[in-house]
Structure 1
Amino acid sequence: MRILEMNYEFPPVGGGGGKATEDLATELSKLGHSIRVLTARQGSNLPRLETSAGLEVERIFAFRRQRDRCSVWEMIGFILMAVPAGLRTVRTFRPDAIHVHFAVPTGFAAWLVATLSGTPYVLTAHLGDVPGGTPEQTDKFFRVIKPLTRPIWHGAAAVTAVSSFVARLARDAYGLEAIVIPNGVDIEKSPAVPRAPERTVKLIFAGRMVAQKNLEWGLQRLAAVKDRNWTLDLFGDGPSKAALERHCAVLGLSDRVAFHGWVTPEEVDLAMSCSDILFMPSLSEGLSLVAINALAHGLALACSRIDGFADVLVENENGLSAPLDDPSGFEHALARLLDDRDQLFRMKLASRAKAAAFDRRSIAARYEQVLRSAASHTHGRK
């Protein structure tokens, strides 16, 4: 098949959704499909056209200024630029199907391209593109635009969601039954047996530093267990970074917590291979690619008890969690992980075993079936 992958962000631009697109596109290429990626360009250093790992990537000018975040106006800019670029790509590449990541903003452009060209598309929802997914960021936004998004969802030949939580949100908002296909990870990139915890337990966070990640609250919980022997490495950037650095100083954690800024996925992999616990006190998650990556590296999970982690965390088996309204419970969970090295190692082994369910080769095969079915459609769903 010829498949056009559309996403408003793609590595090295963006976060986990872009990396998931890259991983999937790479695996689909290995299965013998011809893959073209249409995405936004940021800065002047990225090439407009690139062939890498069997993929043809086109980066279009779309007003994007920063790698780690995209404003509403920049999303609108992407839509305006992606429609003509998408139509041109359909004429020259002649895809059998379009695979669209994020209903907003990519879905707007893809729906117009599909409507004007007659090319069927598959929509994959990640979290923030669904009403209720990240209420702290998008509730006001969706109150205004939700009626405009309905054609995007109902025009798709198929709808997929990266987790059962995101699928439920889509059903509640649009009355559609999404096919749950999780993000995938290369489980062969890390040893089958993770390293045993050492005297100093190493925690790690990777992602955008935004309100959704709830890091200020999480650092307060760590401050309550600073009598234990631990360190925390934070990888990522975002609008909350400077405030978090100040918060660490106030809490007396500056000697324990290291801010590494925006780094490559390879650098995150290297850090995970030397870590013990993934620290994610998030307010909301779809299916965190970072969490799946942590499973592959054999990290125990210390997470907030939210629906977005239900597919990766088995309580008391490969990690511990607590509700967001129970700060003392979260502190108790951290203390349990830090106090018992043998239990922590058992949880690390359980995470590595659980990673097999997210092998990106089998995930790509599932997407292949959905895309083949979509390619048989001559028009969108009514």
Structure 2
Amino acid sequence: MSIIAESKSSSLIEAWRGIQNAKPGIRIREAAKDLGVSEAELLATKTGEQVVRLQGPWPELLTRFKTLGKVMSLTRNGTCILEHKGPFQQIDVMGEGARAMATVIGPIETRVFFSGWKFAFAVTEEKSDRILKSIQVFDGAGDAVTKIYLQEKSDVAAYESLVQDFRAADQNPDLDVTPYASEAQNGPEDTEAFLKEWSELKDTHDFFGLLRRHNVHRYHALELAEGTFTYRVNPKTTPKRILDEASATKLPIMIFAGNRGNLQIHQGKVRTIRVLERGHTGPEQWLNILDPDFNMHMRMDLVHTAWVVRKPTTEGDVTSIELFDVEKNMIAQFFGLRKPGIPEKTEWRAVVKSLSAL
């Protein structure tokens, strides 16, 4: 380690201690924000103690998650966190280089985009009377992509073997992170053609291609289609209302939430819905799903807009509720649970229809 690197990491450690003393119990992500650094940079300062830097190939690392047994998979963005407990059951990797991705199917379901995987760490930390072991992956800006926590019945020997096999030669506590520049999406050049193609969609997955072809940001697409395929609903009441209705009627739903490197998906019923307030710097209103093997935590105070979105398919229209923050970043999507080839449930459509347009 260079003298400069040692000085930088030492000063960051000292600053972190100061924040922890001033705000006992503060989470690392919040501390990093207060210090003006990324979560990955702050975590890396513990390299050599409780943290081991890992290296790729990332598809091989992901595939090894299958050996860990039952774990907890956590994926988050700035507003929403999804947590699932279970094994990594089926992993399929496709593509190479910047286009490489993977699907994970089973109790833990994700869509993985390896272009967003830049740093990874094996982390051992003490929480109350427990020792937590995890694999934590971050993107090039140092933001968390996914975290995999061992559980009581996880295979600890498989975890230790994984850490040994993917241990990076470079254990420097300093990281070179690069903030992402916003992508210019100035389309569509022809709004009428864009909306016509929307009307001709055959599958919900074709929507991503539609946005790419017309170089249009997802939020702007919803604005262009307002009154035709989309309309706004109350952002403060809609998420809880959907979950309360799904819980009361035992209606299976789908929840999508993620970031540039990982999209985690919940499929099934939800039961225990709670709203809680907490925060170190001010009141934070959290909407929670607290079920045995699935948790969701969403900052309701950061939900800025909510949209009903209709997409045509060969099985009829598919309707979603899409939530965005004030910077027009996607927070989460809600669907009625459906399988390919099966029309959308009328019960889900009734829930959506009950929401008043703004």
Say yes or no: TM over 0.5.
no
Structure with the higher fraction of residues in strand conformation:
2
TM-score by length of 2: 0.26
